[in-house]
Structure 1
Amino acid sequence: MKSADKQTKNLLIIAHCPSENLARLRDGLISGIEKAGANLTFTAKAPLDAGVDELMQAEGVILLTPENLSYMSGAMKDWFDRVYYPVLDNKQGLPCIAIVRAGHDGTGTVRALQTITTGLRWRWVQEPVVLRGAWQEAWLDEVGEIGEAIATALSEGII
């Protein structure tokens, strides 16, 4: 339930979804956010369609990327390249989480995301979630729960 005395928060989802299963993960995340019924707005954008403006309005960010050659997707890296310096001094402490769809172990992708977000001085509100190996339908529930928790925590000022 939305409270009139609380300021509406803005959550940004940057999701690179080149496959049907990644799109399903994004949609599961969004379902969880909507289920929370939190006092927030959210925007879900592909990395190549997002820029500085969306990030400047965000009070929290969720990153969803596949593991490509033991690294984040090229589109996600491109997004970071475009927003890094314009937001560096303005978004310090931004709460963030990452969900990595990894065919292997996801270690290189997580390390790269942590390196970039450390440079931006963002604040991890939970360890990156790495979905390893063959596709599992249970991941949809997991990302839904993550979306619901992040939406609630951001809306309530916990993060």
Structure 2
Amino acid sequence: MKTLLVVHHSPSPGMHELLDAVVAGARDPVIEGVEVKVIPALAATVLDVLAADGYIFGTSANFGYMSGALKYFFDTTYYQCLGAVEARPYGLWVHGNNDTAGAVSSVNKIVKGLGLNRVADILESTGSVDKSDRERCYELGATVAAVMTL
């Protein structure tokens, strides 16, 4: 069984809706052989990262950057995981009030350094969360999980 680690910072109701949709997609009953482990960014550890076979990261866009919680996660795991997680699949969703570009850019730099392999389009959402956002998050979760079964 493969492990998909979902690391997120979901401080708002909108982020929780998106998280729920990502997890539901990753746990789609059609996808077999993937255990989904969901851990808030402030609680995820190096051991969680090393034990996982793939990742989905979720963050709010705060002041033109990823959330402080996701930044803390990367700060505390990066060097211990460097060279040990290369080529593992990942996905990313970002939600902001009106802009996500800085948050996406900051995460992209870190995952590039880790050598992770993006297997789904980055999901960017702004404003109120709607049905389309939830559907796209479901697809994100399902896509990353499905790729892990190949």
Does the alignment pair 1:94 with 2:127? no
Q: CA RMSD in A?
A: 1.2
Equivalent of residue 115 in structure 1, options 92, 109, 119: 109
Offset, 1:135: 2.6
Counterpart Cα distance in 2 of 1:146 and 1:97: 7
Q: Offset of 1:12 from its aligned partner?
A: 0.3
TM-score (norm 1): 0.88
Runs ≥4 residues deviating over 3 A: none
- Rounded to whole Å, the distance in 2 between the matches of 1:98 and 1:43 is 15
Separation of aligned partners in 2, 1:26 and 1:20? 10
For 1:107 and 1:149, how far apart are their aligned partners in 2?
Answer: 22
Matching residue within 24, 35, 44 for 2:17:
24
Q: Which residue of 1 aligns with 2:31?
A: 37
Bigger CA radius of gyration: 1
Gaps of 5+ in 2: none
Match of 1:52 in 2: 46
Question: 2: CA distance between counterparts of 1:109 and 1:57?
Answer: 26
Of 125, 128, 134, the match for 1:140: 134
Distance 1:25 1:134 in 2: 11
* Structure 1 portions without partners, runs of 5+: 1-7
Bigger strand share: 2
Q: TM-score, normalised by structure 2?
A: 0.93
Residue 139 of structure 2 aligns with an amino acid whose one-letter code is E
